[in-house]
Amino acid sequence: MTKLVESGDFMLAATVLFAVRTTEVSYGRAYANPEKDGASPWMATGPAYVPGAPEIENPGVLPMAPDEPGEPLIVSGVVRSTSGKPLPGAVIDLWQTTADGRYAGLTPEQAGPLEGLDLVDFDLPKFHLRGRIVADTEGRYEYRTVVPGVEPAAVPGSVLDDLLHMLGRATSRARHIHAYVSHDAHHLLTHQIHFEGDPLVDTVSEGAIARDLIHGTELHDDPPSGWHGV
């Protein structure tokens, strides 16, 4: 721990190792209570959120280049209340990395430790792979994007990297897409989805990922436009 403090990585270590659990205790329970009422599991916001992302169509496409590198991905579902009722008009505010694991839209001040991890691309448009989608009259949503990249949790060879190895923790985070899910009549849910088959979902740096946050994918050759999964 002394080495960690001297290396300047103590705050990053606290974030990587404890942020999900400590923030869940202090904030998460106020928003959604999975054990009590069956809400989707709550996850930390993380440092990469940028407010004001543009609204996209539904079904729609997250803002990205026409030839965006990466594997195309279609995400679809239904926003429901904890009693199972679909929620038309619910807003899903999405943000994710590029396929090579970099966030757009952060200033050097906002990027903080992410910059040291090479997790920020300052050249991309501000809202690249960031967008808000509004659930339709049946609560449905669908968007196209690319499979997000892997985010390193520590600089290779750093004291934090050594500590994660010593603890048997992963030194990268599983691939994920962040979301704030909101609706006028309900508490905000801070959410992240992960992907079945990603080897990192079982070896995470910050603690086990709830199984309900890990979603299956199906491989399609060339899906037509329109609704797919729901």
Residues 137-176 that bind Fe ion (CB under 5 A): none
> Structure tokens of 217?
């994918």
Q: At what angle do helices 159-166 and 10-23 cross, to 10 degrees?
A: 50
CB nearer to Fe ion: give 129 or 135: 129
44 vs 190: CA distance, rounded Å: 7
CB nearer to Fe ion: give 59 or 101: 101
How would you classify the pairing of strands 140-146 and 72-78?
Answer: antiparallel
CB 178 to Fe ion: min, Å: 6
CB 84 to Fe ion: min, Å: 29
Say which residues have a Cβ less than 8 Å from residue 222's Cβ, sequence separation at least 6: none
CB nearer to Fe ion: give 103 or 141: 103
CB nearer to Fe ion: give 41 or 46: 46
**Per-residue DSSP letter, 174:** P
Residue 130 near residue 156 (C-beta atoms within 8 A): no
**Per-residue DSSP letter, 207:** S
Q: Which helix (H) or strand (E) holds 184?
A: none
Number of residues this chain uses to bind Fe ion (CB under 5 A): 1
CB 74 to Fe ion: min, Å: 20
- x-or-dash string of contact with Fe ion, 25-64, rule CB under 5 A: ---------------------x------------------
CB nearer to Fe ion: give 182 or 205: 205
List residues near Fe ion by CB under 5 A: 46
